[in-house]
Chain A
Amino acid sequence: MRFDNKTHSVRKLLKPMLILLWGVGCFLFFQMKYPYHFFYQEQNQLFLLDENYVLSYFDKPAWVACLVGDFLTQFYYYLYAGPAILTTVLLLLGDLVRRSLDRCFSYSVHKTLVSWGSFVLALVLMTLEARLSLYEAYRLSGIVALTGGVALWLLHDGLCDKIPYWWMRTLTLFLSSSLAFWMFGCGYLALFLLEMLRILLPTFRLRRRYWAIIPLLLVALLPNLLLPKVSEHYCLGKKVTLLYPGERKWVDESAAMMLERNFAYDNEYYFGHYEKVVQMYESNTEPETEEMCFFYCLSLAQLNLLPDRLMTMERPILGTFYKIGPETPLYTIKMINELYYLLGDMTYAERAALLANTFSPNGRNVRMVKRLVEVNLVKDDIPAAMKYLRLLSKTWVYRQWASDHTPGTMSEKVKAEIAYKQKYLNQSDHIRVGDDCYTILTQLLDSNPDNIVALDFLLCSDIVARQKKVFLRDYQQYGPRNKALYQQALTLE
C-alpha cells in the first residue's frame, strides 16, 4: 500500500518534473548558447509607452499578439530576460495546448493515454517553437499568436459546454474565429485545428453526428469570406495577412550559431566591451566570419592597437572597402554605421543609421535611433537630436539613457564623450558622390591630423590593399605614426 502511494506520487510528479526539466533546459540553452540573438531582436524595434503608438497596432492584423510580443521583447535588453521570457511563453503555450488536447480527446476512455499523449504533443510543439526561435527574424509575437489562438479555443470550448443549441455553438465558433483572426492573426489556424480535432474525432469514431461538421466548414470558409476585404483593409497580401505576424523559417543550425557568434561580437562592441571582443577573437577556435574580423578591428582601433595586431589576422576586415546600396544587407549597413561613427564622419554615420532604421522591421531600430541622437549631438544639431530623444524618453528601457543625453540634463560622462567626438568633425564641406572610404578618411585627416583612428584605418587599408605607393604617400602626408607595422611597411618600400 505504501509502495503504491509512493508510485502514485512519483507518477503525479513526473509531468511537472519533466516540464521543469524542459523549462530549465530551454532557458539554459538560450542563455548559454544563444543570448545575443535576444539583443538583436530587442534592438530591431522601438516600443513606446504612448497611447498613439499603442493604437497603431490596430493598423495591422494580430494586434494583441504583436502588442504583447513587442512589449515583452523590449525587456530582452536586460541580461537573462530574453531566455526567461521566451521560456515562460513557450511553457504557457505548452500548458494551453496540453489542456486543449485533453479536451479534444475527452470522449476517449483511455484517460491516461490521452493525458500522456496530450502532454507529449505539447512538449513536441514547445520544442518545435523553440527550434523555430533560432531564426533571428521570428518574433515573439508569433508564439504569442499561437498561444492566443489556443486560449481562445479553450474559452470557446468551455462556453460551448454550457450552450445547449447547436446554432448557438456555431455562432460562438464564428465569433471566436473572427476574434482569433483579428487579435491573434495566424493564431486563428490553431483554433481551427483544435476545433477540427474536437469535432471530427468523435464524429468518425461514433459514425454519427455528421451534422457537427457544418459549423467547422463555416469557419473554414471564414478566411475565404473575409480575407480579400481584410487584406485590403490592412494593405497586405492575402498570404501575409493569413500568416501574420510570424514568418516561420527552419534555419540551418550551424548558420544560426554562426550568426549568434557575429551578434556576440557586434553586441559586445556595442556595449563598449572592447577587451572582451579582442579576447573572444584571439581565443576563438571556430571558423571566423567577416563580421567577427570587422568588430575585432574596430575594438583594436578603440584600444589603439590596430596597427599592432593587424597582421596577426588571416584576413583583416577593416570595413573601409564596404559600400552601401539598395542591395546591401541590413547587418552590413549597421556595421558601416559603427565604422563611420568611430572614424568621425557624422554624415555617413547618420546615413547608415537612417538606412538601417529604414530597413529594420516596421522601420524602427532602437540602437540606430540612439546612434542618431549621438550623431546629431556631435553635430550640435539639437532639434534633430531632440526628435529622437523624445522617442527614447517614451520607452521603458531607454528613458534614463535619453535623460542622460538630453541637453539640460546631460550627464558629465556624455558631455565628455560628445566633446571628444566633436574634436574630429570635418572642418570643411565637400560633396562626395558614393561612399569611397579613402576620400572620407583623407578628408577627416585634412580636417584633423590628430584623428589617430582615421589615420590607422587609412594606413592599414593601404597595407591590406597592398598599395605600397599609396601607403607611402599617405604616410608622408598624414604621418608620422610610430608603429612597428608602419615602419616595416616603410622599410619594404
Chain B
Amino acid sequence: MKYWFYILITIWVCGACVPSPEHVQKVDKAAPIYPDYADVTIPVNIAPLNFLLRDDALSVYVYIDNVVFYAGRGNEVTFDMEDWKAMLAKNVGKSVEVKVVAKYADGWKEYRSFRWKVVADEVDPYLTYRLIEPDYEVFNNLVLQERCVENFDVRNFSDYGMVGNRCMNCHTYASQDPSTSMFYLRGEDGGAILNVDGKLKKLELKREDMVSGSVYFGFSPSARYVVFSTNVIIPAFHAQGSKRMEVFDTKSDVYVADLTDSRFIDSPLLADSTQLETFPTFSPDGKHIYYCTAHVLDSLGGLTSLKYSLCRVAFDEENGTIGTEVDTVYNAKMMGKSVCHPRVSPDGQYLVYTVANYGTFPIWHREADLQLMNLQTGEINLMEEVNSSMSDTYHSWSSNSRWLAFASKRDDGLYGKVYYTYINKKGVCSKPFALPQAHPSFYDDCLKSFNAPEQGKGRLPFSITDVHQVLSASPTKFQ
C-alpha cells in the first residue's frame, strides 16, 4: 500500500513539474498570444493580463526583464495575483520586457519579446456593462454586470432571472461616482432605475408629447439633471457585406430632466421635428450639452447619406435653463462622416466620439472609429493606435481622464469586448488592451457581447435584490 502511495506521489510530482527550456530556438516572430497584449500600456492597478498561445504549445515560460515570471504546462498563461501586483508596483513608471518561450513537439521556441509599460495613473477599479447576444434586435436572458478590474470579481447587479426576461440597458454613473447612477428596465412595471447612495427609485422619464421613453442619457456634474434622448428606432438589414444590421431613427429629440423637482426642461433647439437630435451628454463643468444632430430621413434610400453633426448648446445648472444658440463642433457635411456617442473627459480637455460613414448605429460598421478632439485647440486625433479594422465604439472615460474604456469587435467582427487605452496629458494614445479575464479562453467560449462599458470609481451600493424590489414600486412621474 505504502509502495503504491509513493508511486502515486511521484507520478503527481512529475506531472506537476514544468520542464525547463533547453536547446531553445529563437524565432523572429511575435508570440501568437491571445488577447493581444504585446506592447501595451497598462495601469498599476490592473488585474493580471492572462493570455493563451494560439497554437499547440505544451508548456510556456514567461520572463519579465529576463527573470522567470511564469512557468506552466499547456498553452494558457495565468499569472499569480500577488506576483502580478508586486511586479506592477515594482515597475511603475517603467517599461518591462516580456519574453515568451514555449515548448512544442519539435522543441522550445523563443519568440520576439515585447514590452509592457506600467503607468502610475490608475484605471477606475470598477466597470459595468451589459452582456447581450450580438444581434441586438431582440433580447433574451440579459444581465448587467459589475466587474472589478483590479481582480477578477464580477457580479450581476441586474439579472433576467430576478427581474423577468425583460430588456435592460445602459447603466451610467454620474461623474464615475457609484453613489449616483441610472439604468433602464424596460417592459411592464419598468422605468429608469435611479440609484442615489444605494437607494433605488423608479422614474418615468416620459411625457405624452415625447416620441418615446428616454434612451441615451447622461448626468450633469451635480447629478441634479439628466439629459436624455427619445428615439423612434427602426431596425433594418443589409443584403450584402459585413454590416449585417442597420438601426436608424425616424424621430428623435433631446430633453433634460430635473431630478430634484421632477420636471422636464425642453427647448425647441433640441426637439425640432425636422431634425434628429440624439446622444446627449453634459460637459464636465455642466455648462454645455453636447449632442448629435441630422436632418430627418426622407426615405430609406437616403440612409447612407444620413450623417450626424456634433453640436453643443449652453446649459445653466443653477437655473436649469437651456441656451438659445447652437455651436457646431463637428460638421458632418464638411467632414463626410457621421458622429455618435460624444463623451467629454472629466478634466474637460478632450472629447471622444465615434465616426462612421453614415447613420447612428456604428456597432456593425467596420469603419466605425474613435476620434479624440482637443477642446482647447479643436485639433482632431484620429486615434490610429487605438482603432481597428472592425467597429470601435461606446467609450467611457475614467475619473482621472487618462483611461478610455470602449467596446471593440476587432477579434471576430461579431462579439464586442472591452478594451482600455491610455491617453496621456498631451492627448497621445497607446495601443489598447482587452479587459483581462481569469481564464484566457474566456473570450473564445463567450457567446455574448460586452455592451456599453462604463467606468466607476467604486462598487455600486445596491444588489440584485434591491433591483427586484424596486420593480414593484410606483414610478416618480415628471411634469
Contact = CB atoms under 8 A, between A and B. Distances in A.
Interface string A375-389: 000010101101100
Contacts of A350: 244
B238 A381 contact: no
A355 B137 contact: yes
Contacts of B239: 345, 347, 426, 428-432, 440, 443
Given A355-B137, A433-B234, A51 B162 contact: no
Contacts of B445: 48, 50, 52-53, 56, 391, 394
By CB atoms of chain B within 10 A, which of A55, A345, A381, A386 has the most? A381
B413 A429 contact: no
Interface in A355-373: 355, 357-359, 363-364
A428 B156 contact: no
B238 A428 contact: no
B448 A384 contact: no
Given A50-B445, A51-B439, A384-B412, A358 B238 contact: no
By CB atoms of chain B within 10 A, which of A52, A53, A231, A348 has the most? A52
A351 B413 contact: no
B463 interface: yes
Contacts of B241: 429
A69 B435 CA distance: 33
Interface stretch (B2-10, B138-146, B273-281, B332-340): B138-146
Interface string A205-220: 0000000000000000
Interface string B132-161: 011101111101000000000000100111
Contacts of A432: 236-239
By CB atoms of chain A within 10 A, which of B240, B303, B448, B464 has the most? B240
A232 interface: yes
A50 B441 contact: yes
Given A52-B445, A363-B447, A235 B161 contact: yes
Given A235-B161, A351-B137, A363 B240 contact: no
Interface string A228-262: 10011011110010000000000000000000000
B318 interface: no
B237 A348 contact: yes
B447 A237 contact: no
Contacts of A433: 234-237, 300
B447 A383 contact: no
B133 A363 contact: yes
A447 to B, nearest CB: 8
Interface string B429-452: 000000000010110110110000
A245 to B, nearest CB: 13
Interface in B229-264: 234-246
A347 B444 contact: no
By CB atoms of chain A within 10 A, which of B235, B237, B244, B448 has the most? B237
B236 A431 contact: yes
Contacts of B184: none
A46 B160 CA distance: 21
Q: Chain A: interface secondary structure?
A: helix
A237 B162 CA distance: 6
B240 A431 contact: no
A379 B161 CA distance: 36
Contacts of B141: 363
A354 interface: yes
A278 B236 CA distance: 36
Given A391-B444, A425-B240, A383 B411 contact: yes
Given A347-B237, A350-B244, A381-B413, A355 B447 contact: no
B414 interface: yes
Interface in A442-458: 443
B129 interface: no
B442 to A, nearest CB: 6
Contacts of A359: 140
Interface in A270-329: 325-326
Nearest to B390: A383
A88 interface: no
A325 B290 CA distance: 35
Nearest to B246: A431
B138 A326 contact: yes
Contacts of A234: 161
A427 interface: yes
A432 B242 CA distance: 15
Given A52-B439, A351-B244, A358-B133, A429 B238 contact: yes
A152 B439 CA distance: 32
Interface in B156-170: 156, 159-162
B465 interface: yes
B415 interface: yes
A383 B413 contact: yes
A452 to B, nearest CB: 19
A387 B237 contact: no
B161 A236 contact: yes
B166 to A, nearest CB: 11
Contacts of A431: 236-239, 246, 300, 303
Interface in B288-316: 300, 303
A235 B140 contact: no
Given A345-B239, A354-B133, A433-B236, A364 B244 contact: no
Nearest to A325: B138
Contacts of B439: 51-52, 55
A8 interface: no
A131 interface: no
Interface in B30-79: none
B236 A387 contact: no
Nearest to A360: B140
B411 A357 contact: no
A208 B415 CA distance: 65
A390 interface: yes
Given A235-B143, A429-B241, A387 B300 contact: no
Contacts of A384: 412-414
Contact of A355 (B135, B243, B444): B135
Contact of A237 (B137, B138, B161, B246): B161
A158 B39 CA distance: 60
A394 B447 CA distance: 14
B66 to A, nearest CB: 30
A318 to B, nearest CB: 20
Given A363-B141, A430-B238, A357 B133 contact: yes
Contact of B159 (A235, A326, A383): A235
Contacts of B139: 358
Given A237-B161, A351-B135, A358 B240 contact: no
Contacts of A425: 240
A383 B133 contact: no
Nearest to B132: A358
Contacts of B237: 347-348, 351, 431-433, 435
Contact of A236 (B162, B235, B244, B447): B162
Nearest to A348: B237
Nearest to B155: A235
A351 to B, nearest CB: 7
A363 B441 contact: no
Contacts of B143: 235
Interface in B104-132: none
By CB atoms of chain A within 10 A, which of B143, B303, B444, B463 has the most? B444
Contacts of A240: 161
Contact of B240 (A237, A428, A435): A428
Given A51-B439, A355-B135, A391-B444, A232 B244 contact: no
7 contacts: A52-B445, A55-B439, A348-B237, A354-B133, A355-B135, A379-B242, A426-B240
Interface of B: 133-135, 137-141, 143, 156, 159-162, 234-246, 300, 303, 411-415, 439, 441-442, 444-445, 447-448, 463-465
Give the top 4 A-B pairs by smallest Cβ distance, nearest first: A235-B159, A52-B439, A387-B412, A429-B240
Given A232-B465, A429-B239, A432-B238, 4 more contacts: A237-B161, A429-B238, A431-B238, A443-B239
